[in-house]
Structure 1
Amino acid sequence: MITEDADGELRRLARDSKFRHRDAARRGLRFRVGGDVADLVAIVDDPHPCAMTDVVFALAGATRSWLNWVPMPAEAVCLAANEIAARRAQGDQVEVGRLSLSAAEPATATLAARRVIGPVDLRIGAFPEPDIRVPLRRPARSSIWRYDGVRPVAAVPPPSAGAVAMLHQVGAETWPSMLSGYLQAAPLGELPLDDLLGLLAHLPDPPPTARWQHLARSTPTYWYRLLQPWVCLGLLHHAPDEPWPSSTRRQVLIDLAFGVEDWAADAALFALVTMAFRAPGHRREVRDLVRGRLDAAVGAGRVVTIEESLAHLMLVTPGCTASDHAKARTVLARHGVRPPQRRKRLSFG
Structure 2
Amino acid sequence: MTEGRDEPALSTAEELALARLALDEGDLRGAADHLTAALVQAPTLPEVHEILARIAAASGGDLDLFPLGHHAFVGAVVARAHLLAAAGRPAEGLDLLVAATGHAPGVDWAGVPWVTAPELVERLDPDRAARILMQICAAVPDPAPRATRAPLRPYLTLARHAVDAHPDHALLLGAASALARRIGEVTLAVTWASRGVRAQPSKLGEVWLGYAYRSAGRTRDALAALERAVGHDPDDLAVYADIAGTLADTGRLDQAIGWIDRALARDPGFDCAVHTAHRLRFLRDGDVAHLIALADFVRDNPDDTHEHGDLAECCRARPWLGQVTPAAGAMVDALRRALAADGPPGGAVRLAALEPPSAMRTVTAAVPGLAVEVTGVADPDPREPRRADACPLWRYDGTVAAPTLPVPSTAAADRVSQLAHPAWPHPPAAYDAAVGLATLELTDLLGLLVHPPEAPATALGRVLAGQDPSLWVRCVQVWACLGLLHHRTDEPWPDSTRRRVLVELVWGVEDWITEAALFALVTAAWVHPEVRPDVARVVAERLGDVATVARVRPVPIAVSLAHLALATPALDPTTTALAHRLIGDGAVGPHRRGILTRLWRRLTAPFRRP
Query: What TM bracket, shorter-length normalisation?
Result: 0.7 to 0.9
1:63 counterpart (313, 317, 326)? 317
Q: Indicate yes or no: 2:478 matched with 1:244.
A: no
Distance 1:303 1:95, change over 3 A: closer
Mapping for residues 157-196 of structure 1, pairs under 5 Å:
157-172=406-421, 174-196=423-445
Q: C-alpha displacement at 1:200, in angstroms? A: 0.1
Q: Indicate yes or no: 2:282 matched with 1:48.
A: no
> What residue ranges of structure 1 are gaps of 5+ in the alignment?
339-349
Match for residue 25 of structure 1? 276
Distance 1:337 1:125, change over 3 A: closer
Q: C-alpha displacement at 1:50, in angstroms? A: 5.2
Larger radius of gyration between Structure 1 and Structure 2 = 2
User: Aligned equivalents of 2:403 and 2:303: distance in 1?
Assistant: 42
- Secondary structure (helix, strand or coil) at the match of 1:94 reads coil
Code of the residue aligned with 1:101 in structure 2: it is L
Match for residue 85 of structure 1? 339
Q: C-alpha displacement at 1:320, in angstroms? A: 1.9
Match for residue 297 of structure 1? 546
User: Aligned equivalents of 1:318 and 1:43: distance in 2?
Assistant: 12
1:283 counterpart (529, 532, 535)? 532
CA contact (8 A) 1:24 1:53 kept: no
CA contact (8 A) 2:546 2:555 kept: yes
Distance 1:204 1:292, change over 3 A: same
2:563 counterpart (297, 312, 317)? 312
Code of the residue aligned with 2:557 in structure 1: it is I
TM-score by length of 2: 0.51
1:260 counterpart (496, 509, 523)? 509
Compare 22-31 and 244-253 and name the one that shifted more: 22-31
Mapping for residues 198-277 of structure 1, pairs under 5 Å:
198-277=447-526
Q: Indicate yes or no: 2:381 matched with 1:131.
A: yes
Q: Indicate yes or no: 2:72 matched with 1:72.
A: no
CA contact (8 A) 2:506 2:515 kept: yes
Distance 1:95 1:41, change over 3 A: closer
Distance 1:112 1:32, change over 3 A: farther
Q: C-alpha displacement at 1:240, in angstroms? A: 1.5
Match for residue 341 of structure 1? none
Q: C-alpha displacement at 1:336, in angstroms? A: 2.7
User: Aligned equivalents of 2:575 and 2:295: distance in 1?
Assistant: 21
Q: C-alpha displacement at 1:219, in angstroms? A: 2.0
Q: C-alpha displacement at 1:155, in angstroms? A: 1.1
TM-score by length of 1: 0.86
Q: C-alpha displacement at 1:86, in angstroms? A: 2.1
User: Aligned equivalents of 2:244 and 2:531: distance in 1?
Assistant: 29
Distance 1:166 1:20, change over 3 A: same
- Secondary structure (helix, strand or coil) at the match of 1:118 reads coil
* Aligned residue pairs, count: 327
Higher relative contact order, structure no. (Cα contacts within 8 Å, ≥ 6 residues apart): 1
The percent identity for this pair of structures is: 37
> What residue ranges of structure 2 are gaps of 5+ in the alignment?
1-142, 144-241, 249-255, 590-610
Code of the residue aligned with 1:48 in structure 2: it is N
- Secondary structure (helix, strand or coil) at the match of 2:466 reads coil
CA contact (8 A) 2:386 2:509 kept: yes
Code of the residue aligned with 1:201 in structure 2: it is V
User: Aligned equivalents of 2:243 and 2:398: distance in 1?
Assistant: 54
Match for residue 11 of structure 1? 245
Deviation per CA, 1:142-200: give whole Å up to 9, x if none: 32212222211101101111111001111156312221111111121211111111100
User: Aligned equivalents of 1:100 and 1:182: distance in 2?
Assistant: 39
User: Aligned equivalents of 1:173 and 1:260: distance in 2?
Assistant: 23
RMSD: 2.6
CA contact (8 A) 2:324 2:422 kept: no
